[in-house]
Amino acid sequence: MSETKTVESPHLTVAQLADRWHTTPQAIYTARHRGKAPKGFKRGVKLLFPISQVEEFEAHGIAADRPSNRGTDPAHRPAEVSRPHRARVPAQRTVENPAA
């Protein structure tokens, strides 16, 4: 009886990275084109991503992520500009001269 050993590759294919990120392979290609994906390289016709690069990219993305309540937290709101209020002046009516 012979056992087959599965050797884990230190690289991910586009399909594997798409599965890992719960997205489509086309989204991975688009993100790579826009510079929003880890560094990859071509091996023949396959595009491969080193797992170390993927993990580093994910860690950097998590560290750079902003909290979702940033706009509602008073500590993060921009200072409001105080403007002087203009006094409302009623519109002046002109009376036409009926004798003219």
pLDDT digits (tens, 9 = 90+) for 22-67: 999 999 999 999 999 999 999 999 999 999 999 999 998 888 876 6
Is residue 60 domain-resident? yes
- What pLDDT shows up at residue 100? 59
Is residue 48 domain-resident? yes
Is residue 36 domain-resident? yes
Q: Give the Cα separation of 23 and 17 in Å (integer).
A: 8
- What pLDDT shows up at residue 66? 66
Total count of domains within the chain:
1
Is residue 96 domain-resident? no
- What pLDDT shows up at residue 31? 94
Question: Across all residues in the chain, what is the average pLDDT?
Answer: 82
Is residue 52 domain-resident? yes
- What pLDDT shows up at residue 50? 95
Is residue 18 domain-resident? yes
Q: Give the Cα separation of 54 and 12 in Å (integer).
A: 9
Q: CB within 8 A of 45, min separation 6: which ones?
A: none
- Residues spanned by the domain of 19: 11-65
Contact 28, 21 (CB under 8 A): yes
